[in-house]
Structure 1
Amino acid sequence: MTDVQMADSGGRVWRPAVVIPLGILIAIAAAAMLAPLLTAFDPYETELRQRLRPPGEGNLLGTDSQGRDLLTRLLYGTRTTLMIGFAGTLFGAALGLTIGLCAAFYRRLDMILMRVIDVFLSFPSILFGLSLAAMLGPGLDSLIFAVGLSVMPGIARISRGAALSIMAQDYMAGGKVIGLPDRLLLTRYLLANAYPPILTYTMLAFGDAILLAATLGFLGLGLQPPTAELGSIAAEGRSFLFIAPHVSTAASALIFAIVLSANMLGDALRDAGDRRAT
């Protein structure tokens, strides 16, 4: 059976491969932002007499090792993890986009910039992020910086490749001949035409950023307790896997859903771009 296609009033075609993961991401983000309205529990108030209660009445997903409502902790932890992933991806995309466009536009800088990017790419992103986080120490700014620099090299590479194909077009050469300023050529012509593959890859990088942020939290290099964060919640529950598996399982499942949805959405956007190109 072929994919069901749904057209909106503007004539654009939406496929389930785009709508489903996008809907999941929006629902998770909305629940995290509306956490104070969705739960009456305090995410930081401990109640040791209620520790490690299983899912059930009163606590929909049970409680953690400090007696805190797990659903509440997950909602607030999702907010923190999404903020780190989004801010880190935004920072990495801005830096990578600038490097990639400048490398394609100013050819004399291409060799230098790309060799620097190759150095970054020689390290696995998770290992690079772990090293940066360990050097910079715990803190929100340090996490965003580490996550951003980890996703930046791939975005820079994609940006350069997309920009090079645009630089080969006649209108770019014509713009230089008639003396259009570099700022105008870079923004109105180069970026405006090269952004589709960059946007697609950035969506994939967002999934990597979320996974890296959760990994840092799991290893104790993220935000310190009692701050709610998905990776640290999963790490907290690993000591009680045999008596209270719901703590780690719920946090891990939420991380999995976010990363999978982001990757599926990125793949769908990439496939749509390939079809338009053909």
Structure 2
Amino acid sequence: MTTNRIGVFGANGRMGLALLEAATIKEQTQLTGAYVRSSSSLLGINVNQVNSAADSAVSFSVESEVNNVDVLIDFTLPQGMRNHLKTAVAQKLPMVIGTTGLNADDMALLNDAAKHIPIVFARNYSVGVNVLLNLVQTAATKFGDDLDIEIFEAHHRHKIDAPSGTALAIGESIADAKGWNHDEVAVYDRSQVETAKSQNEIGYSVLRGGDIVGEHTAYFATMGERLELTHKASSRMTFALGAVRAACWLQNKPAGLYDMQDVLDLK
């Protein structure tokens, strides 16, 4: 049985700590790298002193000291991801990326890097959310055109990007099913709109508060009935275990840009 050696960027963050635990407890994986910024006070400290469930001999080290790993996982902010991507390409290491809030230039970097290494990029690594992406496409195609589509998402107060990457993935899946250009039909603010809602749009609404891990609902409303498809995450371990699953799946894959739908064989 092959063991996948996992290295985690941003290992001291909320998701980073969950990833350390997931890489420790999941079968066929071994945590061999926990990378933080050079200014971090955790440098040299064993990871299990910060997360006791991450029972590993690995200590926190600087991001420039990537070695002894088979695949890298990155859930950091876009600026950090850009630097980590360079490291992965230089060392020809597969990479799992869960960074959200990426712009067009970031996506161009991902596509270019994927010519050299295999990359799984997904806005959400939950199995349930990726099943939801399929369900919303079915709903979008089965209802008629006289349909109002709205997406609501809620996260903890520390989440910066809005709407969330997962909400956008849901909207993009619906737009694909309807044959729409998502950027043309997405509506993020109605505060200045004085006309009735169009059926050819996807509206987004956002809540930020407390410690909400993640909730997403797609609404399909017609005159007389409403379908609500909801996913609620109660633990970051849901996403961390999915990311580690993706890391194992990447083993021996050719260079290319993949997503969680590929990992779960949902396409």
Please indicate, yes or no, whether the TM-score normalized by the shorter chain is above 0.5: no
Structure 1 or 2, whichever has the larger Rg, is 1
Q: Larger strand proportion, structure 1 or 2?
A: 2
Q: Larger helix proportion, structure 1 or 2?
A: 1
Q: TM-score, normalised to structure 1's length?
A: 0.26
Q: TM-score, normalised to structure 2's length?
A: 0.26
